[in-house]
Amino acid sequence: MPAKIPVNKILLKGYYGFGNLGDDILMIVSYNLLKEKYPEASIDIFSNHTPNLNGFKRSSAYNQYIWQLLGEEPELIDWTSKKEYDLVFNGGGGVFFDVKQGSAVYGVINTIFKVAGSRVAHRVDRLLRVAFNKPRHIRFRKQHGVGIGIGPYSKRSTLFFRHLAEIGSFEALFVRDDVSMQFLASMSFAGQRFKFTDLAFLSDYWVPEKLKAKKEKTFGNKLGILLQDVPSRQEELFSAVEGFLSSVTDAEVTFLSFDKNHDQEYIRRFSSRHRLVVWDPEVISMESFLEILASQNIIITARAHGAILGALLGVVPICLGVSPKLEHVSQFFPNGGLLVKPPFDQQRLSVAWEKARHDYTELRERLQEDVMANRTVAQEGKQKLFEIR
């Protein structure tokens, strides 16, 4: 039996350092998972939010807020770095998808490689890199991914081949839902694959101690609303929320933003007339922000992690189906959450709000069961991850 090759150098990779609360939580969980599994290894973090990114508008040291969240100062690298690692660990998020349409040429290429599969795509990509002298900046011995979402893709996606080749480089993938498992099967993925859930369900790694105690929460008409700038139906959604608010006279409403850098229109439109609390790691601590989220009874959310983090803090989620991702996330809470599908209007939001208020006690009890089921899946997945070498 060959000797096990030690894992000494790890790169933790994700959408990190961009000031997005959901991804910041995924980073915290992933970093601590790796420290627990590989206590002697050094861990770098991939964060592309640097002056090397086109359109970068923050201070050059902006992504160093990561150090504050982790309580440690791992090296932060971006796409310009040239380094080698024993393991690249992709920590959560829906990074493999593309619904934009390219030219017909992309449709032909995608059809061919969908049949050929991810391993063939990975080999072809390697040959092309050699032929055109375009080596990877970051080299690695093996790659794992946990809590990853895969799909959907348009037929003429411009990213499908690139993503397929990347997926073919993984030795193990723990995907977060059944839809991702189906996409992985259709890509003829040859590595180990597992059905997982979202990494945030490993909540012991990120929930502040004062919020971990399960408290009975009576209904207090506290409504959180979490929107975002969305690529489609944005005006329809924003107008529906404004109309809904005009009919809600007895609720204490708090708007929340999980991403200051990418919610600019949402913040501009609602902050002047409503209380709107923004996750800005340079201004507010994560604990303070999570306390505000946890104080809500119900949250109407257009962000996936608005539903997930809220549910883990005991807040009943009403998911807005602004994308297939939100509809999939709503399935994490089949008994204790609600889903509002488009088209969005005042009446649909009002019906969901009234149902959540009327059934609040029952929904919250069922939500705890949904959360426990997902936490169990997450713990079982963690155990499987720790068995992989």
Q: What is the CATH number of the domain that holds 130?
A: 3.40.50
Look at residue 65 in the predicted model and tell me its pLDDT: 97
* pTM of the complete model: 0.95
The pLDDT of 366-388, averaged and rounded, is 97
Q: Which two tokens stand for residue 202?
A: 């490993």
Q: Is residue 387 part of a domain?
A: no
Q: Is the domain of 259 the same as that of 364?
A: yes
Does residue 215 have a pLDDT over 70?
Answer: no
Q: Is the domain of 182 the same as that of 242?
A: no
Q: Is the domain of 77 the same as that of 22?
A: yes
Last residue of a domain, one of 196, 222, 238: 196
Which of 2-6, 35-39, 87-91, 344-348 has the lowest average pLDDT?
Answer: 2-6
Residue 48 CB partners (closer than 8 Å, separation 6+): 17, 78, 79
Query: Could you tell me the CATH number of the domain that includes residue 280?
Result: 3.40.50.2000
Q: Is residue 172 part of a domain?
A: yes
Strand partners, 225: 255, 300
In this prediction, residue 217 has a pLDDT band, given cuts at 50, 70 and 90, of confident
Does residue 182 have a pLDDT over 60?
Answer: yes
In this prediction, residue 214 has a pLDDT band, given cuts at 50, 70 and 90, of low
Q: Is the domain of 105 the same as that of 243?
A: no
Domain span including residue 177: 9-196
Look at residue 3 in the predicted model and tell me its pLDDT: 55
- Which residue carries 């375009």 as its tokens? 134
Q: Is the domain of 227 the same as that of 317?
A: yes
Q: What's phi and psi for 334, nearest 5 deg? A: -70, -20
How many domains, the chain?
2
Which of 98-102, 107-111, 117-121, 295-299 has the lowest average pLDDT?
Answer: 98-102
Angle at 309 between CA 308 and CA 311, to 5 degrees: 65
In this prediction, residue 239 has a pLDDT band, given cuts at 50, 70 and 90, of very high
CB atoms within 10 A of CB 71: 8
Which strands, in side-by-side order, build the sheet including 222-226?
A: 276-278, 252-257, 222-226, 298-301, 316-320, 338-340
Q: Is residue 134 part of a domain?
A: yes
Instruction: Look at residues 130, 199, 127, 198 and name the one whose alpha carbon lies nearest to residue 168.
Output: 127
Q: Is the domain of 189 the same as that of 215?
A: no
The pLDDT of 238-245, averaged and rounded, is 98
